[in-house]
């Protein structure tokens, strides 16, 4: 390739980014704002690479990220994809994702936190460190909490080893916002904030159907309607966890189906009997009583 021209499409294909973005779009239901942001980040990274190629200044765009949203909205799933994208673009050498929480970073006793945090950082180098429920690192009512020690070390690495490690801080939106307010140093080093919306009922149904077909099950029409009704009620209850709650509900429905078939063991079975989830398998949920 001559040094004064570059084929954007070729470069794009070479990175395999298109493949990852397409599979992100196809396999993940909903999450439109998330997909748009990821595409923007990927575009920025690719253009930055191409600028380097022409000898233009490339300002290693800050890659640390914040994923906020309720449980089961796809934060961990997207984090894994993000690690892949960063790896394909050669921003990180290994492309693995290490998920940790406060307990992995912070010790119980004086002197335990620094070695713990450093050990985790060592393992994460070359990849993505995904800190789940990151706000637990900071306890505002306790000045001597060891969490702030972990944050200090983290900050240094986020600043000085940007080429070796990408940090994603994840958790519920409100406590994360508060966490950033109390830790402006951290906030200023996180360039990309991505909000994960709750899924709508139709999106949850699509997710349910994907899960079922992966397991070689399917809803009857009545069962699908029952599940719509179930999700509409379940969504309003506490501890609703989006796609994760869908998974759990389907596990229970399969159990009910097995029980129903078992109770009628004296008749012949067809393949269809074993594949179909019926409305009664859903309607037995305590949410309907
Ligand atoms: N957009 C999506 N489409 C299909 N399945 C999804 C989607 N988002 C999440 N899931 C599934 O839901 C489950 C929970 O997602 P996860 O990424 O662990 O959520 P979070 O980290 O936000 O709690 C995972 O098993 C994942 O495969
Ligand atoms: Mg998660």
Structure tokens at 186: 């951290």
Q: What is the CATH number of the domain that holds 279?
A: 1.10.8.60
Q: Is the CB of 75 under 6 A from ligand 1?
A: yes
The verdict on 15 and 39 lying in the same domain is yes
43 closest CA partner among 11, 80, 67: 11
Do the Cβ atoms of 215 and 253 come closer than 8 Å?
Answer: no
Domain limit, last residue, from 144, 172, 196 = 196
The verdict on 183 and 235 lying in the same domain is no
Q: Is the CB of 243 under 6 A from ligand 1?
A: yes
Domain limit, last residue, from 196, 226, 254 = 196
The verdict on 79 and 92 lying in the same domain is yes
The verdict on 265 and 170 lying in the same domain is no
The DSSP letter of residue 112 is: S
pLDDT in single tens digits along all 289 residues of the chain: 456 787 877 877 777 778 888 888 888 999 998 999 888 888 888 888 888 888 998 776 689 999 999 999 999 999 999 998 889 888 899 999 999 999 999 999 999 999 999 999 999 999 999 999 999 999 888 777 899 999 999 999 999 998 899 999 999 999 999 999 999 999 999 989 999 999 999 999 999 999 999 999 999 999 999 999 999 999 999 999 999 999 999 999 999 999 999 998 788 889 999 999 999 999 999 999 8
CA 211 / ligand 1 centre spacing (Å): 11
Total domains in the fold of the chain = 2
Domain boundaries, position 131: 8-196
Give me the torsion for CA of 158, 34, 22, 93, rounded to 10°. 10
The verdict on 47 and 149 lying in the same domain is yes
The verdict on 208 and 191 lying in the same domain is no
């Amino acid at each position: 390739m001559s040094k004064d021209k570059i084929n954007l499409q070729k470069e794009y294909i070479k990175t395999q980014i298109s493949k990852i973005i397409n599979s992100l779009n196809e396999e993940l239901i909903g999450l439109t704002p998330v997909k748009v942001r990821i595409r923007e980040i990927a575009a920025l990274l690719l253009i930055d690479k191409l600028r380097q190629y022409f000898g233009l200044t490339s300002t290693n765009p800050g890659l640390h990220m914040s994923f906020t949203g309720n449980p089961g909205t796809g934060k961990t799933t997207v984090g894994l994809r993000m690690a892949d994208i960063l790896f394909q673009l050669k921003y990180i050498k290994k492309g693995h994702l290490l998920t940790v929480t406060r307990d992995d970073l912070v010790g119980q006793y004086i002197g335990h936190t620094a070695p713990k945090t450093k050990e985790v950082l060592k393992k994460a180098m070359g990849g993505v460190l995904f800190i789940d429920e990151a706000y637990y690192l900071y306890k505002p009512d306790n000045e001597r909490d060891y969490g702030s020690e972990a944050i200090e070390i983290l900050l240094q690495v986020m600043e000085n080893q940007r080429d070796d490690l990408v940090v994603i801080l994840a958790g519920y939106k409100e406590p994360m916002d508060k966490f950033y307010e109390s830790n402006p140093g951290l906030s200023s080093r996180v360039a990309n904030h991505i909000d994960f919306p709750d899924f709508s009922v139709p999106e949850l149904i699509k997710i349910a159907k994907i899960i079922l077909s992966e397991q070689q099950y399917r809803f009857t029409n009545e069962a699908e309607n029952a599940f719509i009704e179930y999700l509409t009620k379940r969504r309003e209850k506490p501890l609703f966890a989006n796609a994760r709650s869908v998974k759990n509900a389907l596990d229970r429905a399969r159990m009910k189906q097995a029980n129903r078939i078992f109770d009628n063991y004296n008749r012949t079975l067809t393949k269809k009997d074993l594949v179909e989830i019926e409305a009664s398998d859903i309607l037995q949920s305590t949410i309907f009583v």
